Amino acid sequence: MLLSAPAALAQNCRLALVLAMDVSSSVDAAEDTLQRGGLVAALTAPEVQAAFFATDQYVALAAFEWSGRYNQEILLDWTLIDSPAKLLGAAQTIANSTRSHNDFPTAMGYALGYGAGMLERAPSCLYQTLDMAGDGQNNEGFSPAQAYAAFPFDGVTVNGLVVNGADFEAETGLIAFYKGQVMRGPAAFVEIAQGFEDYERAMRRKLERELTPPVIGSTSSPHSPRG
């Protein structure tokens, strides 16, 4: 039986993954350097590269930064990571990026809506994941719950990377916020970075988990199938 072009493409792409990085006013210049460099280092870490190419099905990757209601900027548009050279090129594009905004609040609902829009124009893949990283709770615009009700999130897994502040105990509310209001979908999870100095390790761990192909018949897949 011959597959249609969209079905064949979906069979060849296992995951569309979009990474969303917080550049709201709570993130200073030094912290932004740590998270931007940490993302690049994580993408090129040997274990993450191995996860990208764990099967002969490729991954589609994109990234954007976000802060206020109307302050989202693409760092990497959709790129099919079908070779190590493509992955290194994608990481270099992010490494060459410069911060677009530094004085806006944390409009997470708007960022989620923007991510949903990016996934709507993603290559056809078996799974879709939006990765929300940040150091604060939503404090402008509509909530994550309102975003999930208003934007197309059927079949989308939303994972989180929480950047804890220097006073870890005081930031436990942020972890609860991500676990209760941000992560979404079967087997969605939240990774914790203990400060921006820990961003690279946490991102590396999270990417390795997201990129690991699901086991057939497993109930602990890191992805949700598309609706």
- Write down the pTM of the prediction: 0.87
Residue 173 has pLDDT above 50, yes or no: yes
pLDDT, tens only, 13-39: 999 999 999 888 788 888 889 999 999
Residue 7 has pLDDT above 50, yes or no: no
pLDDT at residue 52, rounded to an integer: 97
pLDDT at residue 3, rounded to an integer: 40
User: Where are the alpha helices (H) located in the chain, listed in sequence order?
Assistant: 5-12, 29-43, 46-52, 84-95, 108-120, 144-150, 172-177, 199-211
Residue 187 dihedral angles phi and psi, to the nearest 5°:
65, 15
Q: Which helix (H) or strand (E) holds 81?
A: strand 72-81
Contact predicate 212/54, CB 8 Å: yes
Strands 72-81 and 127-134: unpaired
Higher pLDDT, 15 or 215: 15
Q: Give the mean model confidence (pLDDT) for residues 203-217.
A: 81
Cα gap 172→184, rounded to integer Å: 19
**What mean pLDDT is reported for the chain?**
85
